[in-house]
Structure 1
Amino acid sequence: MGIHPRAGQLAEQSSLVNIPELMTAYFMKKPDVSLSSQQVSFGTSGHRGSAFQSSFNENHILAISQAIADYRKDQSIGGPLYLGKDTHALSEAAYQTALSVLTANGIRVRVQTGGGYTPTPVISHAILTHNIKVSPSDSSDGIVITPSHNPPEDGGFKYNSIKGGPADKEITDWIAKRANALLAGELVDVKFFSNNEVMASGLVEEFDYIKHYVDDLENVIDMSAIAKAGIKIGVDPMGGSGIHFWRPLAEKYGLDITVVNNEVDPTFRFMSLDKDGRIRMDCSSPYSMQNLLKLKDNFDIAVGNDPDYDRHGIVCAGFGLMNPNAYLAVAIEYLSSHRPTWSKNIQFGKTLVSSGMIDRVVEGLGRQLCEVPVGFKWYVEGLFEGTMAFGGEESAGASFLRHDGSVWTTDKDGFIMALLAAEILAVTGKDPQTLYEEQVAKYGKPYYKRIDVVATPEQKKILGALDKKDVTQTTLAGEEIASVLTHAPGNNAAIGGLKVSTQNGWFAARPSGTENVYKIYLESFISEEHLAKLETEAKALVDSVLPA
């Protein structure tokens, strides 16, 4: 797909989502549960959809909220539920719907003091800090209402378990099955309150998420080093849920932080268009990040985050926006040598579609690599137990342990990844991009690419269930095939696709959970020409195992 002619420019009025129409669709459209596209389905990060397409409507949230209430009862989870939302228009509507169901089921719900938004990592942090102090029967869990970086018309609903991070497949399958049964039963078993009943229930508890999170940051980031070095930090909240965290953070730790955009607007009219001409709050996209990139030389480090703050974009003065894979590699090397209390045997996590540079860096450090399928849920257990120091995804999301080696969050944390870039510059005197260039000089230059290929639902199903024996060829792009994977080496979990590697290159193919395409990830450590050859042969290999 080519680059849209208006990519990187502000959206025109005619292309902005009609918010009243969107909200009407949320309340008026009803899903047809005989269609799989309109059922509740939890992907790698919760249930997502569009009110316009009847895949994210009031009925969905009524059903999912009741299913979560039923799950909590089944599991004897008796503590308060921590509820957060981002700045998407549908998030506010879904938030009110969820409150009506949760309180009707007798669940105490903790919400931001005075109202407002609560980022994904802040919910994870609140769950974990609560549960460390209480008995199992008083444990808490949480819900984050967000479609992440997706366009303004989308909605998302994510359940975080008592371990603080995205619930595993066993849990989400239970919730989805129950929710779809409730939808099929026309919601007769859903309990819900009116707004007046919610307010009169006494079950909605205000909680100062901002202070609770900000006051603890010095235990995961060297804030004093950043302050002492006087690092100038520019922040573009991109209209997201972390917008009110930066000023208290700067004041508490004496940091030089400038928020370059204070606007919150559910149309996200202030965003520059992504490569396909759509508004998408993707902080890893140079097109979406144009507003901040224009200011890059005004700061030592500039950062952007998506609406729920589980992703990060790092901009270095004189360079520009870092490739997400490159920053992960730098972060791992820095943390490995600047967290002396961490065990030498601790693991560093990456997904199978993240850069091979990470493999080379971790091997060069003499550390242990844990390679898992796509989805941050695969890191939850390791981070929770303190056996995994760092977990990162190629889509610009990561988290890591506290200074003392204990858990910080078990969900992606855009705040700490942004602040880590400033810490790296403060401590080493070099920004992350400069350190990445040093890694390239040592380990070789990677050429990385991701593409989407049109596929039928049948083809996607077959690709997701491939076996290693389905690949019969022995070479790829001029090199002998070293490995064929359908399960991740780090935890033996199914990839839901295929990864084929040679000495200097690899590709991975996996079906999209939301679109009729499959995604191909490619990387060469030789050249752009070799990458192009990888792409051609990867497509041919996948085509050879899929029906026409």
Structure 2
Amino acid sequence: MDAISFGTDGWRATLDVFTSGRVRSVAQATADYLASEGHTGETVAVGYDARETSAGFAEDAADVLAANGFDVLLPERDCPTPLVAHAIVERDLAGALVITASHNPPEYNGVKFIPEDGAPALPAVTEAIEANLREPVEGARQGEVREADLVTPHAEHCRDLIDADLSGLTVVYDAMHGSGRGVTDALLEAAGAEVIRERCERDPEFGGTPPEPDEANLQGLALAVDEHDADFGVANDGDADRVAVVTPERGVLDGNRFYALAYDYLLEADTGPAVRTVSTTFLVDRLADAHDCGVVETPVGFKWVADAMGEHDALFGGEESGGYTMRGHVREKDGVLMALLAAAAASERDLDDRLDAIADEFGDIHQDKVSVDCPDDRKSAVLDELEDRLPDEVAGVPVERVNDTDGFKILLEDGSWLLVRPSGTEPKMRVYAEGDSPERVEALLSAGRDLVEPLV
């Protein structure tokens, strides 16, 4: 049981640790938690991604839940995590377990719990599940286990939410061999787009590349956009809750620029605050200010974004790592819906033109991050020591104020900033910086590294 720990987004581990027995224990703890919340005898979904072991682990979880008297809903095949979250709300389920390691390499797997509201579980919930860990109830299934189509209801909801005619639009879609294949591309095609498919065959090894939609792993998509003279390209990670967009001029967009593009597009027809993490660009704030809308800043982690979206009725929410959702949808990041949103924006105006207009009006932004190795048991001490050594200036610019929402975000008088926070998934400290040029960002990151390294 000591090997099981719910981090930023569930429990993930390599397959020597992530075993059938431990998955069954997590399922039992979930059953106990749901029973304590008054959900005994209700229906729970169990989703799973395209990894070799995921379907088997999903069966393990379903067996234990059914032995505890819960009915269980399984998808017809591996499917994106956001489709499971949507099914919870659409079908009024008690919650769901999803077997996925998201963008991690194939030697990993993972499990996450999504509560009845379809939003990521907050720490109070995951801590309660961890506290319930025990040997599972074994025996005959007391509940019914059945399969259901989770794709069609989600697609219909997406089309209702974003009613776009994509006729004449050419999109290259890269599933990275993950669960978005046959889902995201089908949604775009149903809306009228011509879709050119890349890596849309199931491959549990992901072609030898982790299904992480970052610049290094999407060069083939960028080449395909150029080769096919496409309007843009779009990719999902392994379980399709994240999105990345490629434009003809800019190549792979970082998550900050996609956030700005998406929020700006939604503001053309609607209004409302934006929710962003502490590591996400201030460009969002400039857009919001121009439309008399507020911005809510949260710690890193989509669970905090989702919580704030519910509290503030936000129009859009997300984080620079590629996870976003919007008003009217479940409060879980959804890379399938975001692909449709990007296509809707592109159908009305070229994405590069949109980004040029945003830069012309609000200025350009540059952001990057580095990591400093730090044992988990040193992270708190590093932050404590850093608090006593916070500088009066960074890279030659005076400090205006310090935000301690998540670690320390040092805001400078020229509008740039430096953020130091502990990683929630690795033994590292993260150092982020934003400025008006790549050179400025590089100087800030160097200064940030010099701050942190002596403390580790």
Bin the TM-score by the shorter chain. over 0.9
- CA, structure 1 residues 481+82, in 2 after alignment: closer, same or farther (shift >3 Å)? same
| Structure 1 residues 208-287: aligned runs within 5 Å | 208-224=149-165, 226-227=166-167, 230-246=168-184, 248-250=186-188, 252-269=190-207, 279-283=209-213, 285-287=214-216
Which AA in structure 2 matches 1:449? D
CA contact (8 A) 1:83 1:142 kept: yes
2:119 equivalent to 1:155: no
Which AA in structure 2 matches 1:58? S
Q: Distance in 2 between matches of 1:291 and 1:144?
A: 29
Q: Distance in 2 between matches of 1:85 and 1:44?
A: 18
Aligned to 2:13: 49
| Structure 1 residues 253-402: aligned runs within 5 Å | 253-269=191-207, 279-283=209-213, 285-297=214-226, 298=228, 299-339=230-270, 344=271, 346-384=272-310, 387-401=313-327
Q: Distance in 2 between matches of 1:104 and 1:439?
A: 55
2:88 equivalent to 1:127: yes
Q: By how many angstroms is 1:307 displaced?
A: 1.3
Aligned to 1:71: 33
- CA, structure 1 residues 246+388, in 2 after alignment: closer, same or farther (shift >3 Å)? closer
- CA, structure 1 residues 444+50, in 2 after alignment: closer, same or farther (shift >3 Å)? same
Query: Percent identity, aligned pairs only?
Result: 29
CA contact (8 A) 1:463 1:498 kept: no
CA contact (8 A) 1:327 1:436 kept: no
Aligned to 2:340: 419
Q: By how many angstroms is 1:259 displaced?
A: 2.3
Which AA in structure 2 matches 1:118? C
Which AA in structure 2 matches 1:414? G
- CA, structure 1 residues 517+448, in 2 after alignment: closer, same or farther (shift >3 Å)? same
Q: By how many angstroms is 1:240 displaced?
A: 1.1
> TM-score by structure 1 length?
0.78
Q: For residues 42-82 of structure 1, what are the alpha-carbon distances to aligned partners after superposition, in whole Å with 9 as ceiling and x for unaligned?
A: 11111111123x2x222321111111000000001243112
Q: Determine helix, strand or coil for the equivalent of 2:215.
A: coil
Runs of 4 or more consecutive aligned structure 1 residues displaced over 6 Å after TM superposition: none
> TM-score by structure 2 length?
0.93
CA contact (8 A) 1:130 1:140 kept: no
Q: Distance in 1 between matches of 2:34 and 2:421?
A: 33
Aligned to 1:506: 417
Q: Distance in 2 between matches of 1:469 and 1:262?
A: 48
2:62 equivalent to 1:99: yes
CA contact (8 A) 2:97 2:111 kept: yes
| Structure 1 residues 475-494: aligned runs within 5 Å | 475-487=393-405
Q: For residues 299-338 of structure 1, what are the alpha-carbon distances to aligned partners after superposition, in whole Å with 9 as ceiling and x for unaligned?
A: 2121110111111111123432112111101111111122
CA contact (8 A) 1:239 1:263 kept: yes
Q: Distance in 2 between matches of 1:327 and 1:333?
A: 10
Equivalent residue pairs, number: 452
Aligned to 1:537: 447
CA contact (8 A) 2:43 2:72 kept: yes
Unaligned runs of 5+ in 2: none
CA contact (8 A) 1:49 1:156 kept: yes
Unaligned runs of 5+ in 1: 1-30, 34-38, 132-138, 272-278, 402-406, 488-494
